């Protein structure tokens, strides 16, 4: 029978079985989704004897992210800028965490990397990476220093611990 709305083809006879098939196929999926998303059974209310958290118990503050004072690569005879040095020295003075990385070439041009880390007690951890120095120690070591000042290619220190090999 011709359907005036759709021309010669009766879409109702075609679409009804398709709808039924979709309903049968999708119903289990919808029901499973509903079962999985249902709230979990109610938990019993806390009893009066349960210990309440003390108001004075406060979670410790997360340590502050260190200030990034830069990652400087120097050429032969180059020096770290005054602004970069001031960034790091101010952090040390204020006992704020900060990091400054400096790469200096040896006379032969091999890179020596220095990582200066300002510690919360005002000291500075210095990690020197000379593993790419073909004519030097080829090692990596750590020192803890005090009294940083601008000078030389980057920083100078009043005192430093004995270097400890770390790599």
DSSP label at residue 9: S
Tell me the pTM.
0.63
Which segments of the chain are extended strands (E)? Answer: 67-73, 98-105, 111-118, 124-129, 140-146, 149-151, 154-156, 159-160, 164-165
Tens of pLDDT, residue by residue over 35-57, are 544 444 444 444 444 444 454 55
Please report which helix (H) or strand (E) contains residue 85, including its range: helix 82-93
Report d(CA 41, CA 105) in Å as an integer: 67
Closest CA to 153 of 120, 106, 95: 106
Q: Where are the beta strands (DSSP E) in 8-97?
A: 67-73
Q: What is the pLDDT along the chain (167 residues), one digit of tens a residue?
A: 444 444 444 445 544 454 554 444 544 554 445 454 444 444 444 444 444 445 455 555 556 799 999 999 999 999 999 999 999 999 999 999 999 999 999 999 999 999 999 999 999 999 999 999 998 889 999 999 999 999 877 899 999 999 999 97
């Amino acid at each position: 029978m011709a359907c005036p709305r759709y021309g010669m083809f009766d879409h109702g006879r075609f679409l009804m079985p398709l709808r039924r098939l979709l309903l049968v196929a999708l119903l289990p999926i919808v029901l499973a989704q509903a079962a999985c998303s249902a709230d979990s059974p109610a938990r019993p209310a806390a009893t009066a004897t349960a210990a309440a958290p003390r108001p004075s118990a406060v979670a410790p503050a997360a340590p502050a992210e260190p200030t990034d004072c830069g990652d400087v690569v120097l050429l032969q005879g180059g020096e770290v800028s005054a602004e970069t040095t001031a960034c790091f020295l101010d952090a040390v003075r204020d006992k704020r965490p900060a990091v400054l990385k400096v790469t200096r070439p040896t006379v032969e041009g091999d890179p020596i990397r220095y990582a200066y880390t300002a510690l919360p007690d005002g000291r500075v951890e210095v990690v020197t990476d000379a593993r790419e120095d073909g004519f030097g120690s080829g090692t990596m070591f750590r020192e803890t220093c005090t009294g940083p000042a601008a000078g030389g290619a980057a920083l100078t220190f009043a005192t430093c611990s004995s270097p400890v090999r770390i790599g």
